Amino acid sequence: MGVYVHKLLKENNSFLLLHSLYNKQNATMFELVEDTHLSQSSVRNLLRKFEQDRIVGSIGVEKSTGGRCPIRFSLIAQSFTVFCCYVHKGYLEYRVIQLYEMLDEGQIQYVNDQEMITQFLSLITRYSLQCIVIAVEGIVSGQYYYTDHENRYDVNVWIEDIQKQINIPIYVENDVKVMQQGIYKENEELKNFVFIYINHLGMASSTMRKGELLQGTKGIIGELGLIPFENMTLNQAIRICYTQERFYQLMIFILAIICTSLDPRKILISCDLPYNIDIDYLTQSLYSIVYQNYQIECRKEPIKILFDGLSYLGIMNLLKRRIGESYEKI
């Protein structure tokens, strides 16, 4: 038990240090001590270990203010090359991210899964990748996902087929959860909020508590588009929504469900439909139902925050993976 606890503490401290270094982009040992609240000796030992493992490197020496000149450290970019992919019906968008820098971006068109797999494999062989992170429009279960396009359920298994042919990890997540992670990357103080995304396919939401995405036992948390509404699902109702008045009716219904079931600190909305979102109107209408004021905000650029979330998830998973490999023999 004592050995296990010691290993767990080492892994937690390691992630705390590397996460801090990722957020800061570069830092001295003393800046990391201040940010992580780890002891100076712990930070020094961890930095030495991760330099040996080619995860961290020194990028220069600061001017001395008395005593030794402090060394500035950063993550080694070449150790964090992530293939980020957003899958839609008939095409996918991708970006290759190396730590903070985008190396490439583009789209792939496909007719069927086999054509997509062939193009996907051809594309990822161009780069020395450490992992692949995929956002999908559906309910995720491991490397499978279920979609509700064209009012029918389909199970998608092509990602597992790709994983069998490559030796780097693939991580799969629902697109709206990835978007929420991208917002969290911008502001890690925002640890408790709900994110809603609406487009021509329907709607979904994602919930974060204490900085962690809530998944549920079957990954279905946030799939509010499956809730019945007037003899159809909310997804179907949004697909045939043609007026501003109807859009507000659907939005107030969705917000009332979220507030009464989750009671969030903040609600962020991103919408790709051609309708106005009057925050004051929504807030007042919601108050007339639940008799509470909720903070509601709009977010634009859903694709930007999605790819921010993909790169963040990829690098966080790589950090955990490398740390686990470092301590697996303890």
What's the confidence (pLDDT) of residue 199?
92
How confident is the model at residue 132, as a pLDDT? 96
Q: Under CATH, to which class is 186-301 assigned?
A: alpha beta
Q: Choose which CATH entry (3.30.420.10, 3.90.1150.10, 2.70.98.10, 1.10.10.10) describes domain 2-75.
A: 1.10.10.10
Output the pLDDT for position 66: 60
pLDDT digits (tens, 9 = 90+) for 1-47: 556 666 788 889 999 999 999 999 999 999 999 999 999 999 999 99
pTM over 0.85: yes
DSSP structure string for 24-89: HSSEEHHHHHHHH---HHHHHHHHHHHHHTTSEEEEEEPPPSSSSPPEEEEE-GGG-EEEEEEEET
Rg (CA), the chain: 22
Q: How much is the pLDDT for 69? A: 74
The stretch 239-264 carries a mean pLDDT of: 96
Number of helices (H), then strands (E), in the chain: 10, 18
Whether residue 105 contacts residue 141, with contact meaning beta carbons closer than 8 Å, is answered with: no
Cα–Cα distances in Å, from 225 out to 105, 143, 240, 243? 30, 22, 13, 19
- Structure token digits, residue 114: 């086999």
Share of the chain above pLDDT 70, in %: 94
Written as one string, the DSSP assignment of 109-147 is: E-SSHHHHHHHHHHHHTTS--SEEEEEESSEEETTEEEE
Q: Looking at the domain 80-177+304-318, which fold is it?
A: Nucleotidyltransferase; domain 5 (3.30.420)
pLDDT: is 64 or 183 the higher one? Answer: 183
Name the pLDDT band for 146 (thresholds 50, 70, 90).
confident
Q: Do domains 2-75 and 80-177+304-318 have the same CATH topology?
A: no
Name the pLDDT band for 165 (thresholds 50, 70, 90): very high
The pLDDT value given to residue 61: 77
The confidence band for 151, taking pLDDT boundaries of 50, 70 and 90, is low
The structural domains of the chain, with segments of one domain joined by +, span 2-75, 80-177+304-318, 186-301
Instruction: Identify the pLDDT of residue 64.
Output: 62
pLDDT (tens digit per residue) in 208-217: 999 999 998 8
In the chain, what percentage of residues exceed pLDDT 90?
Answer: 75
Which residue shows structure tokens 């329907």? Answer: 202
- The token pair at 151 is 């009012």
Q: pLDDT tens digit string along 92-113?
A: 999 999 999 999 999 999 999 8
